Amino acid sequence: MVAVSLLFALSSVMGVLSAPTRVSVRGPILYDGRAPLDFSAADLDASKEPFLTVVKGSNNASQYTQLLGTTELPTPLWNTAGNLQTEQVLAVSIDNSSIFTPGGFAQNGFRRTDIIAQQGGSPANLLNITQVGTTVFHFSVKTDEARPLNDTHEYQPVFIEPSDGTHIFDLQLASGSPFTNPTGDLPAANARNFRVRNHAGQTLFESELTNGNWHNFAVQVDWDNRTLAVLYSIDCAELQPVTGVEPNESAAPGLQGEFHFGLLKLPLVNPADSPEDQNNVVAFGIQEGTLEALKFSGIFVEGTQRGIRAGNGRAIRKIQA
Ligand X SMILES: *[C@@H]1O[C@H](CO)[C@@H](O)[C@H](O)[C@H]1NC(C)=O
Nearest distance from residue 204's CB to ligand X, in Å?
Answer: 6
Contact 277, 283 (CB under 8 A): yes
SS3 286: strand
Q: Per the omega criterion (within 30 degrees of 0), is the bond before 182 cis?
A: yes
In angstroms, the CA 205 to CA 228 distance is 11
In angstroms, the CA 146 to CA 134 distance is 38
Question: How many Cβ atoms are within 10 Å of 145's Cβ, its own excluded?
Answer: 10
Work out whether 277 is an interface residue with ligand X (CB under 6 A): no
Among 210, 225, 274, 305, binds ligand X (CB under 6 A): 225
Work out whether 222 is an interface residue with ligand X (CB under 6 A): yes
Work out whether 128 is an interface residue with ligand X (CB under 6 A): yes
- Looking at residue 257, the DSSP 8-state letter turns out to be -
Residue closer to ligand X (CB basis): 145 or 249: 249
Closest CA to 140 of 61, 35, 229: 35
Task: Find the part of the chain contacting ligand X (CB under 6 A) among 84-92, 156-164, 234-242, 282-290.
Answer: 282-290
| Binding positions for ligand X, 176-205, rule CB under 6 A | 198, 200, 202
Work out whether 154 is an interface residue with ligand X (CB under 6 A): no
Work out whether 164 is an interface residue with ligand X (CB under 6 A): no
Closest CA to 65 of 261, 287, 211: 261
Question: What are the helix (H) ranges across 19-84?
Answer: 41-45, 61-64
Among 290, 312, 314, 316, binds ligand X (CB under 6 A): 290
Residue closer to ligand X (CB basis): 5 or 152: 152
Among 79, 93, 150, 172, binds ligand X (CB under 6 A): 150
> Which residues face 260 on adjacent strands?
116, 159
Closest CA to 130 of 15, 1, 240, 9: 9
Residue closer to ligand X (CB basis): 36 or 289: 289
Work out whether 249 is an interface residue with ligand X (CB under 6 A): yes
Work out whether 107 is an interface residue with ligand X (CB under 6 A): no
Residues that bind ligand X (CB under 6 A): 45, 59-60, 96, 124, 127-128, 150, 152, 198, 200, 202, 222, 225, 246-250, 268, 286, 288-290, 321
